[in-house]
Amino acid sequence: MMKEWTIGQLAKAVGVNIQTVRYYERLKLLGPSARRPSGYRIYGEDEERRLRFIKNAQALGFALEEIAELLKLSVTSTAHCGDVQRRAQVKLAQVETKVRDLQALARSLRSLIRDCRAGQPTDRCPILQSLEKREKRSNKDNRNDSIASRSVR
């Protein structure tokens, strides 16, 4: 006999909340296999597998839009593993870029922490001074971006 779950039972079995299941339904990533006469949604093993697929893909960093593409590929008879592999390669490149960005951020923080003398007054704190400089630089960059976008028009 096939398993049947209500939305709450499915959510609990997979480890998500009910609102998540409803959200995925609104995005057409998931849907009930049937409805009871009372209107309750009923989910089967296919929906459980699909929900686990979504959760596992998210754990690998895929966005819901990308997951929708992967789900379509999984049921498209003309799709090949290479189609999925290309999407995974793109995701890997994005993750590697984020890792490099985070490593640069960690180096900056280490440097600031190393330069900090705990006994100094805060008006000479290199961390606070760096944050003030970054704010000024950020504002200058925003102004330059604004000027550049106006000159392109």
Rounded Cα distance between 94 and 92, Å, is 5
Q: What is the CATH number of the domain that holds 19?
A: 1.10.1660.10
For residue 60, being part of any structural domain is answered with: yes
> Which pair of structure tokens corresponds to residue 25?
């339904």
Structural domain span for residue 126: 82-152
Helices (H), 27-125: 45-59, 64-75, 81-115
Number of domains making up the chain: 2
Residues 5-21: what's their mean pLDDT? 97
Q: Are residues 69 and 90 in the same domain?
A: no
Q: Are residues 64 and 100 in the same domain?
A: no
User: pTM for the complete prediction?
Assistant: 0.75
Position 136 confidence tier, pLDDT thresholds 50, 70, 90: low
Domain closes at, from 75, 94, 118: 75
User: Taking the CB of residue 62, how many other CB atoms lie within 10 A of it?
Assistant: 20
Query: In this predicted structure, which of 37-41, 45-49, 64-68, 119-123 has the lowest mean pLDDT?
Result: 119-123
Q: Which residue has the higher pLDDT, 88 or 3?
A: 88
In the predicted structure, residue 140 carries a pLDDT above the cut 70? no
C-alpha distances out from residue 97 to 60, 100, 111, Å: 15, 5, 21
Q: Are residues 71 and 90 in the same domain?
A: no
> In whole numbers, what is the pLDDT of the chain averaged over residues?
89
